[in-house]
Chains A and B, each alone.
Chain A
Amino acid sequence: MKKVKVYALSTCLWCKKTKRYFEEKKIPFEAVDYDKQDDDCQQKIMEEIKANGGTGSFPFVKIGNSCTQGYNPGEFEKLLEKK
């Protein structure tokens, strides 16, 4: 199974919906709340997000070697099935 990582904000409605999506599908995932990290960690996360084509908008989801930004179940399914 592909490794799933959700970068989120604790204040973000769509981040909560993204986490719920993976929970309901029983897909294991790692979640990191960006706003709950210290400055150094936030900088590292933002560098990683930007290196993968993202911006400061959350959620940012890594599925295997692919990334997507925003709550988009259709895109999540596509990336989960991608070979």
Chain B
Amino acid sequence: MNVEQRKQALRFLFGPIVDKLGYKFTPVEEDAEFLLEQEVLLEAETGMPYCPCQARGKDRAENMKIVCPCIPFHRRHYDAMKRCWCGLFVHKDVTDPDKLVQFPESAIKEG
């Protein structure tokens, strides 16, 4: 497997999907490259480009909810943060992702 080629393929695959959801790749290129590389390695190991910042369990249906791009399964949470959990994608209006805060879903339920 050529990691660089697969990273480019994932960019090509994910771009139009997240665009329709109102997201874009993080403009922090170093972060995007690192996260895509982790996804390529996870895909090579497991068959799926799982989120590199969420743990897989034994429930396949639950694991499917963290296959990238996992935005539709966590819409309310990610919209509240203006980014997905791993930060590969941010809302289209975000110009400085470093200003965004990562917080658990329970934080929005609590208001």
Contact = CB atoms under 8 A, between A and B. Distances in A.
B76 to A, nearest CB: 14
Contacts of B85: 57
Contacts, number: 62
A69 B52 contact: no
A11 B41 contact: yes
Interface residues of A, number: 23
A69 B53 CA distance: 11
B104 interface: yes
B53 A14 contact: yes
B52 A12 contact: yes
Nearest to B103: A70
Interface string B84-101: 011100000000000001
Contact of A74 (B34, B66, B101, B104): B101
Nearest to B57: A56
B8 interface: no
Contact of A13 (B52, B103, B106): B52
Contacts of B101: 70, 72, 74
Given A56-B57, A57-B85, A11 B52 contact: yes
Nearest to B30: A13
A70 B102 contact: yes
B100 to A, nearest CB: 10
Given A9-B53, A13-B38, A68-B104, 9 more contacts: A11-B52, A11-B53, A13-B35, A34-B55, A46-B57, A56-B55, A58-B53, A72-B102, A75-B103
